Every structure is written in structure tokens, then in C-alpha cells.
Amino acid sequence: MFDKRLSHAEHVRHYTITPGEECGWEVRLEEDNMLRRHDSYQDWHRVERALALFQREVDELTSRGWTLAQRIEHDSVPSPDSRNR
């Protein structure tokens, strides 16, 4: 759903939002191979807020010289209904 890896000098940040194993969504931020955030949400509105935050951070970091290290094709945002399919 959302998968962005950015790098700058020796630093890497990896942002992901993926469907959870049973239901809901998993929100993760890894920084220099350390897990900084890991949340599981059932509520789509919380996922939307996390996604907006991640997108703002990615935009801010790229404006400061960070580069997109990996672009994943599936970073489109599905509707909440598509989670149940």
C-alpha cells in the first residue's frame, strides 16, 4: 500500500503501511535498521492520518536532500472497503 525507502549519507528511513496479518493495517517506520514505530490499526481514519504524516515526512526529507532509494509500484492507497476483499 505504502512503501518508501529514503537515504541520505549513511542514513536510511523506511516507511511502510501494509495490510495486517488477520485484519486491519500495520504501520512501520524503520530508521537505520531500528524500528522506531510499529502500530496496528483497525480504524481506517488512523491509517489515513499515519499515511498523511508519512507523506509529509517523505516530502520534507526529499526537499532537504534525501533521495528515494527504492520506489515500490504499489504505493497507491486502496479504499477501506478493498481491505476486506
Write out residues in the chain with pLDDT < 70, as ranges. Answer: 70-85
How much is the pLDDT for 73?
46
How much is the pLDDT for 22?
79
pTM of the full predicted structure?
A: 0.79
| Cβ burial 49-79 (10 Å sphere, 16+ → b, else e) | ebbeebeebbeebeeeebeeeeeeeeeeeee
